[in-house]
């Protein structure tokens, strides 16, 4: 009998298996499909590979340097996808298969379902374990729009492995997935229109930065419509989407409006494992389900859908399942939308901070043109924003800039450990780096940065 049986071989499942093995447990991973889960196969890795390819092509035809002649000569999308697939296959082998083999964790192939509260069937074979961990992830969800499901639109799954290079594309959803793929396809030569139901794209981010990003995307040729209510979808030779703002037509339709837990076939009701109103597995702070023998982690548990949350929750769930009580702490959780420029953030927006901390809250915004690296790179698209409480503690840092995610880490530490913005000002920041913008925006709370020396 296993000490821990893990269902799902994505980031949460593999992290849990490694943690359990390090604690000396007898553990196995169950997988019915391809090893590796969403991130390496159909999520982070392939999407960013496509984004980088599109960025390389875009840069060949668009840059700010005088006297440098370059050309964007064409796109072979099938070749781009082949290179992406080769990367995915290599990482799946090196970072999942070989890692599990290295610690002696077997992968049991087959579909899993509970027979009762204490027994899991895998490929028709009943198995028992001291504890179970469900890490089955999530999958695209289609909203209930008349005609949408019948039209068989793309989700991110099809968009990352397309059989065609569409001349035109409609994207439903102005969140991170929708915008990343919209910009990638637009840069690769597709005419793209984004339809978002809410008043702004990226509504979870600082509105002023979301509006700036929208302007940059539109300047590249994307059409973005917000406050759109989709009424009906029809498919003929292409797609026709009827909305309250008129009809939109394109060769392909990409739906990027949300994801749902991948729990079908698990027979959770037999194990007395409850789900919330959205269908995600219900867990407590120790990732225990309504069945004390069963734990859940990652996207399936309704946690924020980031691979680093999945991995951390997998490790925490394994510890708890094996008798090492550890709560899951998601404080100072960062997020990055990998458009170009990227939008990265941690902590509270200004409006949230004022509601929670009162009138003492202060905020400062610094245009990217005030950061020397942006000037020498001839790319000043973006801004930094910092939010602090009445004592000067950093409550939030928000960055819109090329490679914004790489400059965010200092803000994550500041929010997590309650640092003051003065700590950021008094910390060395190498000159001509994007990270220097963190110091400058902190200084902007007290100083007119435009009156400082370029390296003061």
> What's the pLDDT tens digit per position in 74-126?
999 999 999 999 999 999 999 999 999 999 999 999 999 999 999 999 999 99
**What is the fold of 334-450?**
Enolase-like; domain 1 (3.30.390)
What's the burial of 455, exposed, middle or buried (CB within 10 Å: 0-12/13-18/19+)?
exposed
Backbone φ, ψ for residue 142 (5° rounding): -100, 130
Q: What are 369's two structure tokens?
A: 């043109």
For the chain, which residues make up each domain, given as ranges?
Answer: 2-140+260-321, 149-257, 334-450
User: Could you give the C-alpha distances from 91 to 10, 32, 51, 98, 122, in angstroms and in order?
Assistant: 12, 19, 18, 10, 26
Q: What is the mean pLDDT of the chain?
A: 97
Are domains 2-140+260-321 and 334-450 of this chain identical in fold? no
pLDDT at 58 (0 to 100): 97
- pTM metric for this prediction: 0.96
Residue 435 clears pLDDT 80, i.e. is over it? yes
| pLDDT at site 285 | 97
2-140+260-321, CATH topology level: FAD/NAD(P)-binding domain (3.50.50)
| 456 pLDDT tier (thresholds 50, 70, 90) | low
Cα torsion 85, 90, 92, 95: sign = negative
Sign for the pseudo-dihedral over CA of 424, 425, 426, 429: positive
Q: Phi, psi at residue 357, to the nearest 5°?
A: -120, -5
Q: What angle do CA 278, 281, 283 make, to 5 degrees?
A: 120
Q: Which of 14, 41, 42, 34 is nearest to 101 (CA)?
A: 14
Architecture field, domain 149-257: 3-Layer(bba) Sandwich (3.50)
User: Model confidence at 449, in pLDDT bands (50, 70, 90)?
Assistant: confident
Could you read off the pLDDT of 161-183 as tens digits, one per residue?
Answer: 999 999 999 999 999 999 999 99
Which DSSP helix (H) or strand (E) runs through 149?
none
Helical axes 77-92 vs 44-61, angle rounded to 10°: 140
């Amino acid at each position: 009998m296993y000490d821990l049986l893990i269902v799902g071989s994505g980031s949460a499942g593999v992290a849990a298996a490694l943690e359990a093995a390090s604690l000396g447990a007898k553990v196995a991973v169950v997988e019915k499909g391809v090893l590796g889960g969403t991130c390496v196969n159909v999520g982070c890795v392939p999407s960013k590979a496509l984004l980088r390819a599109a960025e390389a092509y875009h840069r060949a035809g668009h840059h700010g340097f005088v006297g440098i002649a370059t050309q964007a000569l064409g796109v072979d999308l099938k070749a781009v996808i082949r290179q992406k697939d080769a990367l995915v296959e290599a990482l799946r082998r090196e970072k999942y298969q070989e890692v599990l083999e290295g610690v002696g964790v077997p992968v049991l192939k087959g579909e899993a379902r509970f027979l009762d509260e204490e027994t899991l069937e895998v490929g028709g074979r009943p198995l028992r374990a001291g504890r179970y961990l469900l890490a089955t992830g999530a999958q695209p969800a289609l909203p209930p729009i008349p005609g949408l499901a019948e039209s068989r639109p793309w989700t991110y799954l099809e968009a990352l492995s397309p059989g065609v290079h569409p001349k035109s594309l409609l994207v439903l959803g102005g969140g991170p997935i929708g915008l990343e793929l919209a910009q990638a396809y637009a840069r690769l030569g597709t005419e793209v229109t984004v339809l978002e139901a809410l008043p702004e794209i990226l509504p979870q981010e600082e509105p002023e930065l979301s509006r700036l990003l929208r302007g940059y995307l539109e300047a590249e040729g994307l059409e973005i419509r917000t406050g759109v209510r989709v009424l009906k979808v029809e498919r003929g030779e292409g797609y026709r989407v009827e909305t309250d703002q008129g009809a939109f037509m394109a060769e392909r339709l990409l739906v990027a409006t949300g994801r749902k837990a991948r729990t079908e076939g698990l027979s959770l009701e037999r194990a007395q494992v409850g789900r919330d109103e959205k269908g995600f597995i219900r867990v407590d702070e120790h990732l225990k389900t309504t069945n004390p023998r069963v734990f859940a982690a990652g996207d399936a548990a309704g946690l924020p859908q980031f691979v680093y949350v999945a991995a951390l929750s997998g490790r925490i769930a394994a510890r708890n399942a094996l008798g090492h009580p550890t709560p899951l702490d998601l404080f100072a959780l960062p997020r990055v939308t990998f458009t170009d420029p990227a939008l990265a953030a941690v902590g509270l927006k200004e409006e949230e901070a004022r509601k929670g901390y009162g009138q003492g809250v202060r905020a400062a915004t610094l245009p990217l043109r005030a950061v020397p690296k942006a000037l020498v790179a001839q790319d000043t698209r973006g801004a930094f924003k910092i939010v602090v409480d009445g004592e000067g503690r950093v409550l939030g840092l928000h960055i819109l800039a090329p490679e914004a995610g790489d400059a965010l880490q200092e803000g994550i530490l500041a929010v997590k450990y309650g640092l003051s913005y003065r700590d950021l000002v008094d910390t060395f920041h190498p000159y001509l780096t994007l990270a220097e913008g963190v110091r400058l925006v902190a200084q902007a709370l007290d100083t007119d940065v435009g009156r400082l020396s370029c390296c003061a």
